[in-house]
Amino acid sequence: MLFEGRKTKSFVLGYDLGDEVSQISYLASDADMPETLSVLAGAELYNIPTTLCRRRDVNQWFFGKEAARRIENGDDIPVLHLVEDARKGDPVTIAGAEYDPVALLTLFIKRSLSLLSMEMSLEHIEAVMFTTSQLDQRMVEVLGKVTAGLGLKTDQVFYQSHEESMYNYMLYQPEDLWSRMVLACDYNLGTMSLYSMSLNHNTSPVVATVERRNYDELEVAGHSFPEDTGEKEKMQKLMDEDFLHIMTQACDQKIVTSVFLLGDGFREKWMPRTLEFLCRTRRVFQGNNMFSKGASIAARERLTPSPVFDKYVLLGDDKLRANVGITLTKQGVECYHALMDAGVNWYEAAAQAEMILVSGNEITMQKVSLTGGKPEMMTMVLDGAEERPERTTRIRMKVDMISVSQMRVQIEDLGFGELYPASGKTWTQTFDL
């Protein structure tokens, strides 16, 4: 008798890469919801200090909590600000030697991923989604270099912002929590980031937006409360008043269904008046792993999309806000050929197509805003193109984005067989979207 082998459990990861701390969540192929890696077995200690240190006498490196402990004891050379230094790109000097900051960040991420060995084999990881609070063009470049240096068994590695991770997390929650506006406060006693997610049910698919505002009013010097009890209570009372003012304005004339208080800054519950206000007509949750969990959910969605996401599209600062396409003739019938779709991340938007020009030396594309309006035409002139009879010029079109608002179109003349050899000419033009 033959038995069918049991399918090996696989995982997707959500890696929240922060300037001060990072987190890793994972979603198993047989699970509905993700879990977050704890740095201490049996405890809910999710934060991994984004820190390295090197021993003074030998080339030995430590990371995370062990590095933080050794730095506090004054034993080793601290290597802090890994994300910030990688963004800048300048060499980092440690004990008289220069190091590539991206290589240092890669070392930290590689070491932190080794913590997963107690939960899974890294060979069973199908996809990884990195999420950060600031995902601009430079951060995309850094993450691309980091990914190349990690030596992962999978090539399914993606990046997204905290805003998108919040969106992914919420769509896996009961719908009554996000049917209207959702607020999430991310706070670690420094600058507080307030994320607000709302839905426009008048569009199809429903358009979701996540906006972020930063507040410095709650920043605590040294990111720790005073040791003196009296001073601490006085400070927290003033902070509660400031926080109440911020949240009152955020909820003013809006229907807010749920509020999430994220980060260690809320651990001591110094905000009784604000909590009383928020809990009157809303559900309030406290935690600190929304973004890493949302990233792991997004990783699964990249591999096996679920029906709920078909009904919604997120428009954020790193998303295309217009559909781009071109009208072609196929088998005598005029039809629309999509090149790039609204709602995708600009750094992942790209297309390639080969086609034959009917006549002339112009190519006309059209863009349609996701929020509506008439199509807008974009024309590219191939100056200096070879003069040939109709339908005897074959071209290759490549389209990608060089920023969230600029599309690059590259055209290459492929000729037409032996009759009209390729000229080798290329044209490049950018368009504003």
Q: Is the pLDDT of residue 6 over 50?
A: no
pLDDT at 317: 81
Q: In this structure, is residue 338 part of a structural domain? A: yes
Q: Are residues 171 and 149 in the same domain?
A: no
Rounded mean pLDDT, 360-364: 88
DSSP, collapsed to helix, strand or coil, labels residue 264 as: helix
Total structural domains within the chain = 3
On whether both 35 and 103 belong to a single domain, the answer is yes
Q: What is the mean pLDDT of residues 221-232?
A: 91
Q: Given 252, 272, 293, which residue is the final one in a domain? A: 293
pLDDT tier at 391 (50, 70, 90 boundaries)?
A: confident
Band of pLDDT at residue 7, cut at 50, 70 and 90: low
Give yes or no: residues 172 and 113 share one domain: no
Say if residue 210 is in the same domain as residue 344: no
User: Are residue 184 and residue 107 in the same domain, yes or no?
Assistant: no
Q: Coil, helix or strand for 85?
A: helix
**DSSP-assigned beta bridge partners for residue 256:** 181
Are the C-beta atoms of residues 205 and 311 closer than 8 Å to each other? yes
Is the same domain home to 220 and 351?
no
Residue length, the chain?
433
Of 115, 132, 160, which residue constitutes the final position of a domain? 160
Residues 138 and 177 in one domain: no
Q: What is the DSSP letter of 418?
A: B
Quick one: 411 and 337 in the same domain?
yes
Q: What pLDDT score does 57 carry?
A: 84
Is residue 317 domain-resident? Answer: no
**Residues 143 and 192 grouped into a single domain:** no
Q: Which of 143, 173, 137, 183 is nearest to 159 (CA)?
A: 143
For residue 7, the SS3 value is: coil
Examine residue 339 and state whether it is found in any structural domain, yes or no: yes
Res 386: pLDDT = 87
Q: Compute the average pLDDT of residues 417-424.
A: 86
- Looking at every residue in the chain, the average pLDDT score rounds to 91
Q: Would the pLDDT of 146 be above 90? A: yes
Position 6 in a domain = no
For residues 240 and 270, is the Cβ–Cβ distance under 8 A?
yes
Look at 243 and 362; give whichever has higher pLDDT.
Answer: 243
Cβ atoms of 102 and 146 closer than 8 Å: yes
Assess whether 41 and 133 both reside in one domain.
yes
Residue with the larger pLDDT of the pair 265 and 329: 265
Q: Is residue 303 part of a domain?
A: no
284 and 338, same domain (yes or no): no
pLDDT digits (tens, 9 = 90+) for 301-357: 999 999 888 899 888 888 888 899 998 888 778 888 899 988 888 888 999 999 898
Neighbours of 14 (CB within 10 A): 31
Task: Report the pLDDT value the prediction gives residue 130, as an integer from 0 to 100.
Answer: 98
Average pLDDT over residues 267-287: 95
Is it the case that residue 372 has pLDDT exceeding 80?
no
d(CA 366, CA 374): 10
**pLDDT value at residue 313:** 86
Q: Say yes or no to pLDDT of 1 above 70.
A: no
Domain of residue 379, CATH code: 2.60.34.10
| pLDDT at 359 exceeding the cut of 90 | no
Q: What is the pLDDT of residue 3?
A: 42
Tell me whether residue 103 is in a domain. Answer: yes
Q: 154 is in which domain, residue-wise?
A: 11-160
Q: Does residue 114 fall inside a structural domain?
A: yes
- Please check whether residue 357 is in contact with residue 347, taking contact to mean a CB–CB distance below 8 angstroms: no
* Domain harbouring 67, CATH code: 3.30.420.40
Co-location of 143 and 235 in the same domain: no
What whole-number distance in Å separates Cα of residue 178 and Cα of residue 172?
10
310, part of any domain: no
- Mean pLDDT for 54-64 is 92
- Provide the 10 A C-beta neighbour count for residue 361: 15
Are the CB atoms for 106 and 149 separated by under 8 Å? yes
pLDDT in tens, 112-136: 999 998 888 889 999 999 999 999 8
pLDDT grade, residue 8 (50/70/90)? Answer: confident
